[in-house]
Structures are given as C-alpha cells and as structure tokens.
Amino acid sequence: EAGVAQSPRYKIIEKRQSVAFWCNPISGHATLYWYQQILGQGPKLLIQFQNNGVVDDSQLPKDRFSAERLKGVDSTLKIQPAKLEDSAVYLCASSLDPGRLFYGYTFGSGTRLTVV
Amino acid sequence: DQQVKQNSPSLSVQEGRISILNCDYTNSMFDYFLWYKKYPAEGPTFLISISSIKDKNEDGRFTVFLNKSAKHLSLHIVPSQPGDSAVYFCAALRGGGSEKLVFGKGTKLTVNP
C-alpha cells in the first residue's frame, strides 16, 4: 500500500510569514495526526482528526496554527505568522482506527521547516 | 512534564552484539508502549510494541521487556546489525479516546561493523 504522503519536503520562510503543509494519509485510514518534532526532541502531537472531526487539539497553538481535514481524507496544517521557534519537522501520520494502535501509526517523511 | 524519558542520547555497539535501549515513564495509566526507529530524512517507522498487561514481546531480533513496578521498559536487539543504526524512540499511549503517542527524546544507536 502507498504510504503517507507529505509535501513539501523542505520549506524556508522568514519570521512572520505564513506557510502551509499538506498530508495525504493511507487510503482508508480514518485517523490522522500532525506531530511537531523539534531538533533533539521526540515528536509532539499537535492535532488528531477522526475522519474530518477534531479529537484532540490541546497542544496546538491556536493563535497561529490551524489545521483542517476536508472530506475526511487530505489535511493541511497552516502557520500564520511563523516564529523562529516553529522551526521543526512536521510529521503527518495515519492509522486505520484507534483500536489498532498496538500496531502503531504510519508516519510520512515529514516537512522540514526553517524559519529565519 | 516529560512523561517518557530516554536518558541515553546515544549508544554504540559492535556488530553481532546485543543492543539494549532503555526507557522510563511516569504515567501509570499508559496502556501500550511502542518503539519506533527513525533514519535521517525519513519519518519514524513502527518497530514493536507491548501491552501494559504483558512483560515481554518478541519479534525476530527485537524483544521489548516491560517492568511495570519500576515503570521501565527496554528494547533488546540481538544480534545487532549495521543497518540497525538509527534513532530509536520510545513512545507510550493511553487508549479510550485521544490515543496520542507521547514520545521520549530518542536514543541514537550506532552499530559498528
């Protein structure tokens, strides 16, 4: 099966600019996650979707970050305006349903964002 | 508040020997523990997991041990191969709703030929 697709792979922007990331999960996977991985740290959940509804966005900085999952398939994550501390790898992941978490999520390759 | 801790940033072993990666956690409510492997410029890939009601799970060269009383788990790789060189993340989750994975900071394993 095709994996989780993310684009772009790399992005460099100036602070206060806006940026958007795109994710296409594995076909049929109802649950989609966005994680932020800052250099030297483990990934941290930003938002979890179940189909097109938000399950958990408690760690999403809502003053500058937004995410949507239209039609329960693709998802976009936006940052506006970006800050220097947003420099990180943004990982998208998907899973068939929460009950299969023993088998883990499938992650995409990520988008590396550098804010200068 | 770091709920999952990997206190060794790096580990170096010889090919053919055992690699032991350690992980500690603080939240006794976690239901599952997972190990992910990450190569540079790639996303993490699922390696092996263990339920909180088990104390051991084995898959080929990889074995995960869970000591609930000590809130400690470890990943054993036997025998280690150069292709195992990667960053290994320990992760934990609670079921029942927001099944988010909580990750440690990772341990970089280097297997020398």
pLDDT tens digits for range B39-93 = 998 999 999 999 999 999 999 999 999 999 999 999 999 999 999 999 999 999 8
Q: Residues 6 or more apart from B17 whose CB is under 8 A from it?
A: B79, B80
What is the C-alpha to C-alpha distance for residues B88 and B90, in angstroms, rounded to an integer?
7
Candidate from B44, B99, B105 with C-beta closest to A101? B99
Mean pLDDT within A50-60: 91
Given a cut of 90, is residue A72 above it in pLDDT?
no
Question: What's the CA angle centered on B37, arms B78 and A82, to 5 degrees?
Answer: 160
User: Is the torsion defined by CA of A102, B26, B104, A35 positive or negative?
Assistant: positive
Given a cut of 90, is residue A104 above it in pLDDT?
no
Number of CB atoms found within 10 A of residue A59's CB:
14
Nearest to A32 by CA among A18, A19, A45: A45
Minimal Cα distance from A106: which residue of B?
A: B45
Cβ distance B78 to B63 under 8 Å?
A: yes
Minimal Cα distance from B89: which residue of A?
A: A42
Mean pLDDT within B25-43: 92
Please give the share of chain B, as a percent, with pLDDT higher than 90. 86
Longest CA–CA separation in chain B, Å: 45
Name chain B contacts of A104, Cβ cutoff 8 Å. Answer: 34, 36, 46, 49
Question: How far is residue B29 from each of residues B2, B32, B34, B68, measured CA to CA in Å?
Answer: 15, 9, 15, 11
Mean pLDDT within A75-104: 88
What pairing do the DSSP bridges indicate for beta strands A111-115 and A10-13? parallel
Encoded tokens for A102 = 């023993």
Q: Residues 6 or more apart from B103 whose CB is under 8 A from it?
A: A42, A43, A44, B4, B36, B89, B90, B91
Contact B44 A91 (CB under 8 A): yes
What is the C-alpha to C-alpha distance for residues A92 and A76, in angstroms, rounded to an integer?
10
Q: Is A100 helix (H, G, I), strand (E, B) or coil?
A: helix
Q: Is B76 helix (H, G, I), strand (E, B) or coil?
A: strand
pLDDT range class, residue B101, cuts 50, 70, 90: confident
Name chain B contacts of A108, Cβ cutoff 8 Å. Answer: 43
Contact B32 A41 (CB under 8 A): no
pLDDT range class, residue A101, cuts 50, 70, 90: low
Minimal Cα distance from B5: which residue of A?
A: A42
